[in-house]
Structure 1
Amino acid sequence: MITVCLADNSPVVHLGIQTYFKNSSTIKIEEVVSNYDDLLRKIEASPVDCVILDAELSGLNSILKIKKLLQETPKLNVIFFTNVSDTLYAPPAIKSGVKGYVSKNIELDELENTIIRVNNGEFVFSSEVRKAIEILNKTKKSERLFKKLSTREIEVLRYFSEGRKNKEVAKILGLDEKTISTYKLRLLQKLSVTNLLDLINKAKQLEII
């Protein structure tokens, strides 16, 4: 039996997945949480084989948290189950050590298959993710500047694209406001633009956000 912790903000997702796997002889939804702190507590109190994780889970303000979690619990399998932009989040998520990255638009039997395959040691990524990565690899060198962005820079860019100010981003990520200003300057330099509006437009043009 594969034990799973479902970490998602939506009660509808909780109900749907729990109902689907209720009578499964292969997969058991052991825990259900709606924020990152609860996820950590549940994993520590009752280890599971796999976590189905929404990238926008409350309290998960940085992909670096997932990297740290997987370093501390190397036997844990994490599957991103999300609608967050494949191009923006899939590469750093994969780099952090997640074993699967699938869209919430898939059928539940496909999610079931993903859990089983990941538990068997496979890496499973949706066709959308594979397509996004292929596009990145085929992009002209002159348009690949964004591939030099660090995971943290991508996160800061994501919050800027949502219209958040330096102070807000600093609070979300638990960083000093001056540090965010430094990241902003680096982003401007790496994407060869001079202001925030052009930065966001360039990021959209390159399908980073």
Structure 2
Amino acid sequence: MSFPDKKITFLLADDHSLMRQGIVFILEDIELDFEAVHASTLQKALEAVKSNPIDIAIIDAHFPDGTSLSILPEIKTINPDIKIMIFSGIDENVHALKYINAGANGFLSKLSEEDDVKNAIQRMIQFGEYISPVTQALLINSVRNPKLANPLLSLTEKELTIAKMYAEGLGNLEIANKLEVKQNTVSTVKKRIFEKLKIDNIVDLIDILKEHQ
């Protein structure tokens, strides 16, 4: 890695201290020479990357101050050599591709067995990436079906327009007035957008628009 004595510096970013400590136990079990930098928010994770020579970042997907999807490009800009593994309880089938596309080098479910977590970390150390069988299948399918890689392709022009308005902070009534349609029409379109993108809140919608536009 980046140190002469081969010490590996990990960033463990999760808003639950027990999860971070659990990873420390696994790192100790692997018998690595390592240093662990802890972060409980996205802001602290960014500060840690700026002030420490992080080799591998193990980051949760969701924090009280947002989703890590929003900071992955910034982390890579600060430290282009950093390797990032998303370690989260969110559905890998639904979310893994967007994190890989945003710059993550691996994605692992928190529901994984301890041996799988060890294997994933060891692969991150040896190869700089960890692609699980689930994510591998998603990547292959995304080549065959580009809509998986870019979910915005599944939206109609009208749906995309309304999605952008929501992302700009407009409400149902404002959107209805601008487009000269009924308010319940806008609500129906919003529901359809969320179903197609497999999301349930505006924050996720903003993240997808940032990533794919």
Provide the TM-score with structure 2 as the length reference: 0.65
Given that 1:30 and 1:48 are in contact with CA atoms closer than 8 Å, whether structure 2 keeps it comes out as no
Structure 2 match to 1:2: 8
Tell me what 1:63 maps to: 69
| Residue 135 of structure 1, CA deviation | 4.3
Provide the C-alpha distance between the structure 2 equivalents of 1:145 and 1:44, rounded to a whole number of angstroms. 33
Tell me the CA shift for residue 78 of structure 1: 0.6
Question: Where in structure 1 are there 5+ consecutive unaligned residues?
Answer: 151-156, 161-165, 171-175, 186-193
2:110 equivalent in structure 1: 104
Q: Check whether the contact 2:97–2:138 (CA below 8 A) recurs between aligned residues.
A: no
2:90 maps to 1:84? yes
1:21·1:29 contact (CA, 8 Å) conserved in 2?
no
| Paired residues for 1:45-194 under 5 Å | 45-61=51-67, 63-138=69-144, 144=147, 147=150, 149=152, 166=166, 176-178=168-170
Q: Per-residue CA shift, 1:144-199, capped at 9, x if unaligned?
A: 4883528xxxxxx9xx9xxxxx4xxx5xxxxx4149989xx9xxxxxxxx612233
- The number of residue pairs the alignment matches comes to 172
Match of 1:173 in 2: none
| Whole-Å separation in 1 of the counterparts to 2:151 and 2:17 | 37
* Structure number with larger C-alpha Rg: 2
Contact 1:70/1:97 (<8 A) preserved: yes
- Shift of the 149–203 alpha-carbon distance from structure 1 to 2, 3 Å rule, reads closer
Q: Is the 8 A contact 1:50 1:115 kept in 2?
A: no
Query: Unmatched 5+ residue regions in structure 2?
Result: 1-6, 154-159, 180-187, 199-204, 206-213
Where relative contact order (Cα < 8 A, 6+ residues apart) is larger, the structure is 1
Moved over 6 A (4+): 179-182
What is the alpha-carbon root mean square deviation over aligned residues?
Answer: 3.6
Q: Per-residue deviation at 1:126?
A: 1.6
Q: Percent identity?
A: 22
TM-score, with length taken from structure 1:
0.66
